[in-house]
């Protein structure tokens, strides 16, 4: 295992749900045998052609959580399989990895803590567990922009207390789900609670409060049924010590032990994604290069909001791979 303090190097960042698009990863599949092998392994592990859904859609099918999660994992791991030998050839060690929600599974695959076959089956099951934990239409999530965390937390607590008192229904809650950047926090819970909290945040000065097009209220206590089912599932999955530390979402701490990893992945289902703090770990350890590995540039955009010194490039196709490698090898 690489000691994170030994040498400068790179950190890998893996995207989560919301980065999907029909056709993602197709150029990797067509260009690199190593990437093609990942798509083929996904189909074998799942028992159906995931690549057909990824490349051809339709979008409504790809958007189903049970398809979205293994699809993003597959494209991310395919991109990593192409990037990995390039970093090794340039003697650029990976010092850390992190993934946003679902992306944490991709990070553990890249670090060798979890096999890809086990991971792709697990995230499909995770998606199914999440989708069925709350009846369709009863949960919601909203992005709050331009309001500090303390104000958002106060709004959520106030709305939850009012609804619990009025309805006596333990499911009428809203909590913090994602701490994405100083300017963007996502809340999650019952639809009524989220809508009221979003309005309360606007009254407190939020620039915007936007309901998100999601199928379930992720990262909140309403996901406990899914967390319990995932705990039972992960209890049967072997994990290994990672080759480099992975910063977990729920604690914003770098993990190196299999049982700590298992616990973090379980708790993540109901726990908040503490992305700002995760990036703080990289800053504290003087990581010089951050690479978003997988579809889209969501994490690259968040890092600009967190701190523009968090210079992040991405790898999702041959063109972006070439640009990232040029950047990594350019004279300082």
Is the dihedral angle over the CA atoms 189, 18, 62, 67 positive or is it negative?
negative
Give dist(CA 76, CA 74) in Å, integer: 5
Catalytic residue among 19, 76, 101, 190: 101
Strand pairing category for 246-247 and 94-99:
parallel
| Total count of residues recorded for the chain | 332
Give dist(CA 292, CA 231) in Å, integer: 28
Strand order in the sheet with 184-190: 174-181, 184-190, 139-145, 208-211
Is the dihedral angle over the CA atoms 227, 229, 235, 236 positive or is it negative?
negative
Give dist(CA 85, CA 35) in Å, integer: 12
Closest CA to 293 of 98, 8, 90: 98
Task: Answer yes or no: 67 catalytic.
Answer: no
CA-atom Rg of the chain in angstroms? 19
Peptide bond into 58 cis (omega under 30): yes
Q: Please tell me whether residue 186 adopts helix, strand or coil conformation.
A: strand
Q: How many CB atoms lie within 10 A of CB 203?
A: 10
The set of residues, in sequence order, having a beta carbon less than 8 Å from that of 98 and lying 6+ positions away, is: 11, 12, 13, 14, 104, 107, 246, 247, 278, 279, 281, 282
Strand pairing category for 174-181 and 184-190:
antiparallel
Angular region, 313: left φ>0, alpha ψ -120 to 50, beta rest: beta
Catalytic residue among 19, 51, 76, 219: 219
Task: Answer yes or no: 219 catalytic.
Answer: yes
Which residues form the catalytic set?
A: 101, 219
């Amino acid at each position: 295992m690489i000691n994170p303090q030994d040498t400068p190097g790179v950190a890998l960042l893996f995207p989560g749900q919301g980065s999907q698009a029909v056709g993602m990863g197709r150029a990797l599949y067509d260009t690199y045998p190593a990437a093609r092998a990942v798509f083929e392994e996904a189909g074998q592990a799942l028992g159906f052609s995931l690549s057909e859904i990824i490349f051809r859609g339709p979008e409504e099918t790809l958007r189903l959580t049970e398809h979205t999660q293994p699809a993003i994992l597959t494209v991310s791991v395919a991109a990593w399989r192409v990037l990995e030998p390039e970093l090794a050839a340039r003697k650029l060690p990976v010092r850390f990895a992190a993934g946003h929600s679902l992306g944490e599974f991709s990070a553990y695959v890249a670090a060798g803590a979890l096999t890809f076959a086990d991971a792709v089956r697990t995230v499909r099951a995770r998606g199914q567990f999440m989708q069925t934990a709350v009846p369709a239409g009863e949960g919601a999530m909203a992005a709050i922009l331009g309001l500090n965390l303390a104000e958002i937390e106060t709004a959520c607590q106030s709305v939850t207390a009012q609804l619990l008192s009025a309805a006596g229904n333990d499911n009428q809650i809203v909590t913090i789900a994602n701490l994405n950047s100083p300017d963007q926090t996502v809340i999650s819970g019952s639809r009524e609670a989220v809508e009221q909290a979003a309005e309360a945040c606007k009254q407190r000065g939020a620039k915007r409060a936007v309901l998100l097009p999601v199928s379930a209220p992720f990262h909140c206590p309403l996901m406990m049924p899914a967390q319990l089912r995932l705990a039972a599932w992960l209890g049967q999955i072997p994990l290994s010590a990672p080759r480099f530390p992975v910063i977990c979402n729920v604690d914003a701490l770098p993990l190196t032990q299999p049982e700590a990893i298992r616990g973090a992945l379980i708790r993540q289902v109901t726990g908040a994604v503490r992305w700002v703090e995760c990036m703080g770990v990289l800053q504290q350890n003087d990581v010089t290069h951050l690479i978003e590995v997988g579809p889209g540039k969501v994490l690259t955009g968040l890092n600009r909001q967190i701190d523009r010194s968090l210079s992040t490039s991405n790898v999702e196709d041959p063109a972006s791979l070439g640009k990232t490698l040029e950047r990594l090898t350019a004279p300082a």
